[in-house]
Amino acid sequence: MPRTANATTPRQVRRLTAMAFFGPPLIIGLSLLIANPDWSGLGIIGGTVALIATMVMVMYAAPSGWLMVGGVVLGIASIAGPGLILQGEVLAHQGQQVDVRVTSVKTGHDKNGNPVYTCYLERVDGKPLKHNQMGGDFCDGPGSVGDTETVLVDPYGWSSPQPADTDYSGIDVAAGAIPVVLVLFELLVWRARVKGLRRTTAEGAGC
């Protein structure tokens, strides 16, 4: 990174890292939105923007290759993990098994041109089903229309349905990793602060 892009005084380092400290909890908070299909786009985009902003401030404060690599790894974990873990926690602890019927199938294509199917569902008991779409291995294609399956449903409508046989046995352990990632990310920002203060103090003393 060019020298002109670096913080040049301890005050600038303190200001940059003080703002960067808010980045990790913001990234994780936004990533929780991924558990809800209605908000998943905002969660991914918002988390990515927050990660980029955080790393820009860290690198201005203390340019370092290992800080950049560490921040990107922790940032990706902060974006990708919490939303899926929240979905698993919700369904593991309060999910309800309900019977659904496949009412229609939408056909799309992946980047290789292979067909990708999305099944649209309705509850057999006639109750409303929020987030009534499921794809992946659950949906076998147009021949699935009329089939009845059992799925796990969030009674509060936050998370999307999942196959009833989904294994959530390790979800509580995975949830325990979220605060660990947060602490490590904050320690990385703190390390950038210490490193930046040392550099700018030494440069100021050498002037």
Residues pairing with 100 in the sheet: 123, 149
Confidence (pTM): 0.84
Residue 160 burial by Cβ neighbours in a 10 Å radius (0-12, 13-18, 19+): buried
Distance CA 37, CA 34 (A): 7
- Can you give the pLDDT of all 207 residues of the chain as single tens digits? 344 468 788 999 999 999 999 999 999 999 999 989 889 999 999 999 999 999 999 999 998 889 999 999 999 999 999 999 999 999 999 999 999 999 999 998 888 888 999 999 999 998 999 889 988 888 888 888 999 999 999 988 888 899 998 888 889 999 999 999 999 999 999 999 999 999 888 876 655
> Residue 94: enclosing H or E segment and its boundaries?
helix 65-94
Enter the tokens of residue 4: 């002109």
For residue 206, the model assigns a pLDDT of 57
- Please classify residue 12 by burial: count the beta carbons closer than 10 Å to its beta carbon, then call 0-12 exposed, 13-18 middle and 19+ buried: middle
